[in-house]
Structure 1
C-alpha cells in the first residue's frame, strides 16, 4: 500500500500528531499536582484545562501542517514524519477547516474556564489560540524566525502549568476575577512549570536539529538554523539541567522527598541525550523525538505525583 492509498482515518490521525499530546497534557498534570498539594484541587476545572490543552495542541498541529505546506517549508526532502497536506493525503481546505473547528471547540471549553477564572483566562485563552495560529501562519510565523523554542517554553510550560493551577485556585473564590486574586498564582506554580517547559522545548530542539538542513534550504530560520548544531545541543543540555534541578529545589524548599521522583527517569534521559549530542540523521532523531516526548510525560507525571501524594496520604 502506497502512502496515497492510506485510509482517510489514518491520515487524520497522522495530521493530529497524537505523539505530541504529552506536551499538552504534561503541564496540566503538574499544575494539578501542585493544586492538590496546596489544597485547591478542583476536578472540573482541571479536566476542562486538560481537554482545552489537548484541543489547542491538535488544532496547532493542523495549523502547522496546513501553513508549512502552503509556505513551502514542507517539501519532499524533509526527514520528519509525514505531513498530510504536503504529501497530498488530505486536501488543504479540509485541513484548514479541521483547524478552525478544533480551535472553536477549544474556545467552547474555554468559556467554562472563563466563567471560573475570569479575565485572566480570557487573556490566556486568546493568547494560546493566537500563538497556535501564528506559529506557522500569518505574515510573521515565529516558528520560522527563531522564536519557536520561546513559544513552546512559555505556552507549554509557564502558561499551561500556572494557568491550570490558577483556574483551580480561582474556582474557590466568588465573583468574576478581573485580575489575579491574591494566592492564585504563587511562586511555586511558576517554578513547578519550568521542568515541563524545558522538556517540551527539547522536543522542538530535536525536531529542529533533524530538520535543520531542509529548513535552511526552504528559508525557514528555526533557532537550530540560526545557532547551529553545537549551540542547539547546548540548549538541549541546559533544558535537561533545568528539568532535573527543579525537583531538587522543591525538595530543599521542604516539599518532601517524593518530589525527587522525577530523578528516576535519569537513566532514560542519558542515552537520549547521548543520541542528540552525536547524531543529526532522521534514523536516530525520529526515535529520539518520541523518547523525549515520553520523558516529558514520565517526568511530569512523577513530579505531579510527588507534589500531590503527601497531601492525599
Structure 2
C-alpha cells in the first residue's frame, strides 16, 4: 500500500486538469465548426494522460539527480529524492510511460488519418517531440527547464500544438484563427509554471536552475505573470469578436475574478506555502475557462 501511495504521489494527477484543458479546447473548437468524434476525444485524453504522467515522473527523476530537489527546496519533495521510489524503478517507469504514450498516440493518429501517410508522419514526429520534451525538461546533461526554456515549450505543447493539433485530428484541416484560443491555453499553462517558479525561486537559484523568475527577478516575474494572464484573455476575446461576437460567447470572462485573485496572490504572497495553493487554483481556473469558452461556442452559437 505504501508503494502504491508513493507512485500515486509521483504521478501527480492534480496536474491533469491543466493538461486536459488544451484537449478540450481543441474538441470544443472542432465541434463548433461541425467536426467531432468521441473516439478521437477519448484517445486524445488517454494519450495526454500518459504524456503528463511521463512528464511528472521525469521531473521527479530529474530534480533528484540534478540536486534541485535538495534540502533547500521550498516546494513539495519528490518521491525519488525522499527515498520512496528508487532511481532504477523510476527509470523503468519512464520507459513504460514513454511506450504507452507512443502506442496510444499511434492509435490516435491512425483513427484520425487512416492511410494518409504524410499526415501520419507529421503527427508521429510531433508525438515523438512531445515525448522527448516531457523527458528532457529536467532529465539529461542540459535539461531545457533548468535553462529557462520551459515557458516556451509549455506554450508550444500546452497551447499551439495541444489545441491546434487536437483540432486538426478532428477536422483534418487547420483554421489559423484557432491559434488565438490555442494561445490562450498556452499562456495560462505558462502562468501555472510561472507560479511554480516564483514559489521555488530561492531554491532554484541556489541549485543553478535558471527559470524565468530567477533570470529576471521576482518583481519582474510578477509583472510577467500579469502579462501572461491578460494576454490569455485578450487572445480569446479577439477570436470570439471575429468568429461569434454574441453575448454568451464571452462566458469565459466569468473567470476574470479568479484570474485576478491568482495574479494578486503572486504579487503579495512571499512564502512557498502561501503560493502553493495557487498552482492548483490557476490550473482549475484554466479548465473552467476552457469549459466556459466551449459552452459559449458550441451551445450558445
Q: Shorter chain as normaliser: what TM range? A: over 0.9
For 1:104, the equivalent position in structure 2 comes to 99
Map of 2:215 onto structure 1: 226
The gaps in structure 2 that reach 5 residues or longer are 114-119
Match 2:272 to one of 274, 282, 289: 282
1:155-214 Cα shifts (integer Å, max 9, x gaps)? 1111100111011112xxxxxxxxxxxxx1111221120111011101110100011110
The residue number in structure 2 matching 1:25 is: 20
The equivalent of 1:177 in structure 2 is none
Give, in whole Å, the separation in 1 of the partners of 2:42 and 2:297.
18
List per-residue Cα deviations over 1:218-242 (Å, max 9, x = no partner): 1111111111112211211111112
Q: Which runs of 4+ in 1 moved over 2 A?
A: 256-259
TM-score with structure 2 setting the length = 0.93
TM-score by structure 1 length?
A: 0.90
Match of residue 186 from structure 2: 197
8 A contact 1:32–1:46 mirrored in 2: yes
Distance 2:130 2:42 in 1: 18
Aligned to 1:147: 149
For the residues of structure 1 that align with 2:235 and 2:264, how far apart are their CA atoms? Answer: 22
Length, aligned pairs only: 293
Instruction: Report what 1:165 is aligned to.
Output: 167
Rounded Cα–Cα distance in structure 1 between residues aligned with 2:146 and 2:52: 18
Do the aligned partners of 2:249 and 2:300 also contact (CA within 8 Å) in 1? no
- Structure 1, unaligned stretches of length 5 or more? 1-5, 171-183
2:180 and 2:238 in contact (8 A); partners too: no
Give distance in 1, aligned partners of 2:147 and 2:197.
12
Q: Over aligned residues, Cα RMSD in angstroms? A: 1.4
